[in-house]
Amino acid sequence: MDHRDHVGLIRAGVVGAGPRWLELGAGEGAFTLALADLLGAGGEIVAVDRNASALRRVTAELPRRFPTTRLDAVVADFRDELPTGPFDGMLAANSLHFVTDPASVLRRAAEFVRPGGRVVVVEYDADRGNPWVPHPISAHRFPAIAADAGLQNVQEIGRVPSRFLGAIYSAVAERP
Ligand SMILES: C[S@@+](CC[C@H](N)C(=O)[O-])C[C@H]1O[C@@H](n2cnc3c(N)ncnc32)[C@H](O)[C@@H]1O
């Protein structure tokens, strides 16, 4: 996947939501850059990851490519502590499959999303994991997890084939 694929996967969930976003598990920032591209001038991203060296890479790269986006990188475990909102949206790309209870992470994070704000998830469309993707969340299972997290209006918004676990999809849900 390249930057165009990343942008294409999340575009429908991000456009029109508002400028301030929380990202869980930003890593080296593939989707952080896509988010910055879509938010445009005035975008603000608070990117959380427990891997400080991965966050250092996106902290160096993002201002070069999207100088009008404000990035705040926070080293933390998103199961324990989260930056407080309000946010217009929250993105979790390829990060929820590391937790055994994704609904509880989404529920806590969604508390910091404004009413009517968006929650965008990118995941492998599989229910059986492996050592690299231990707990994938299939597109079929995501609506129940979102409902358990108190979210509504789930829609699949993108999909790309993947040689690894078949496909990657994206979905958006709304904070009531
Ligand atoms: C597969 S990488 C995905 C990175 C990026 N979102 C992407 O799609 O390219 C997963 C990231 O989630 C982070 N992560 C996993 N569990 C986490 C947790 N409990 N708290 C914070 N970060 C976590 C990892 O450190 C890693 O950077």
Taking CA atoms only, the protein residue closest to ligand 1 atom 16 is 98
Ligand 1 midpoint to CA 119 (Å): 16
- Find where tokens 């959380």 sit: 48
Handedness of CA 39, 34, 69, 22 (dihedral sign): positive
Ligand 1 and 124: CB distance under 6 A: no
Helix (H) or strand (E) holding 171: strand 166-174
Q: Whose CA is nearest to atom 4 of ligand 1?
A: 27
Tokens found for residue 119: 């929650």
Listed range (4-13, 81-90, 144-153) with the worst mean pLDDT:
81-90
Please state the CATH superfamily assignment of the domain spanning residues 3-174 in this structure. Vaccinia Virus protein VP39 (3.40.50.150)
- Tens of pLDDT, residue by residue over 51-110, are 999 999 999 999 999 999 999 999 999 999 899 889 999 999 999 999 999 999 999 999
Domain positions in the chain are 3-174
pTM for the structure as a whole: 0.97
pLDDT at 4: 97
**Distance from Cα 27 to the centre of ligand 1, integer Å:** 5
Among 57, 55, 49, 56, residue whose Cα is nearest residue 23: 49
pLDDT at 11: 98
